[in-house]
């Protein structure tokens, strides 16, 4: 199991989700690895020679390591906050740099074909109510990752949005515990 964590701290909602996911995986004796992009000081900026053009792309050793992990694993968990109706820039950069043509996807007769396999569970938090995110915005921040990135690359993904993540209290922790318990089996 590969967990990609994209939040600068571990004290709020996302940190609590990470902690509960770890506890759940340990209870079930499921091995996992965490890629904490902020703790790794991950550089999300795509370099000019990394941009895929004309069948030429230079891939950094760090990106090659991440690609190897993505290729070896079949189960993924992404945890991040929704900022400006989107993922944090560090996570976007991770996707830009690792999900390269001929690794994560390729075109066959102008039709994209995902090259990765497996399932992903995507957890995101937002300060606004989940109902507003769903009804007015169409779960845009989740669909961007679950469908437009992971789905495009061949990974079946389920998104979970935890709304009204402004006040972090025992009631919210109980809610998050239930959400994780309910959704973690998707990865089986």
Q: At 8, which CATH number? A: 3.40.50.360
Could you give the C-alpha distances from 171 to 22, 26, 167, in angstroms and in order?
20, 24, 10
pLDDT at residue 54 in the model: 52
Terminal alpha carbon distance of the chain: 11
Could you give the C-alpha distances from 116 to 76, 102, 140, 183, in angstroms and in order?
12, 10, 23, 22
66 within 8 A of 94, measured Cβ to Cβ: yes
The secondary structure element, H or E, covering residue 35 is: strand 33-36
The tens digit of pLDDT for each residue in 74-109 reads 999 999 999 988 999 999 999 999 999 899 999 999
% of the chain at pLDDT higher than 70:
94
Eight-class DSSP state of 102: T
For residue 146 the two structure tokens come to 């679950």
As beta bridge partners, residue 157 has 120
Domain range enclosing 176: 2-187
Q: Is the pTM of this model over 0.75?
A: yes
Choose from 35-44, 123-132, 163-172 the range with maximum mean pLDDT. 35-44
CA gap 143, 120 in Å, rounded: 13
pLDDT at residue 179 in the model: 94
pLDDT at residue 55 in the model: 61
- What average pLDDT is seen over the chain? 91
Q: Taking residues 9-20, report their average pLDDT.
A: 94
Q: How many CB atoms lie within 10 A of CB 33?
A: 11
State how many domains the chain has. 1
């Amino acid at each position: 199991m590969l967990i990609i964590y994209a939040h600068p701290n571990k004290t709020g909602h996302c940190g609590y989700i990470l902690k509960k996911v770890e506890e759940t995986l340990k209870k079930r004796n499921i091995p996992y690895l965490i890629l904490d992009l902020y703790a790794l000081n991950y550089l999300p900026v795509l370099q000019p020679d990394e941009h895929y053009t004309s069948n030429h792309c230079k891939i950094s050793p760090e990106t090659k390591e991440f690609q190897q992990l993505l290729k070896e694993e079949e189960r993924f968990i992404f945890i991040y906050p929704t900022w400006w109706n989107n993922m944090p820039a560090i996570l976007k950069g991770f996707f830009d740099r690792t999900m390269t043509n001929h690794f994560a996807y390729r075109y066959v007769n102008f039709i994209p074909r995902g090259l990765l396999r497996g399932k992903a569970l995507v957890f995101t938090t937002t300060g606004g109510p989940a109902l507003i995110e769903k009804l007015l915005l169409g779960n845009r921040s989740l669909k961007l990752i679950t469908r437009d990135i992971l789905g495009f690359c061949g990974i079946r993904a389920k998104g979970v949005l935890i709304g009204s993540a402004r006040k972090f209290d025992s009631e919210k922790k109980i809610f998050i515990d239930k959400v994780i318990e309910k959704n973690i089996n998707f990865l089986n």
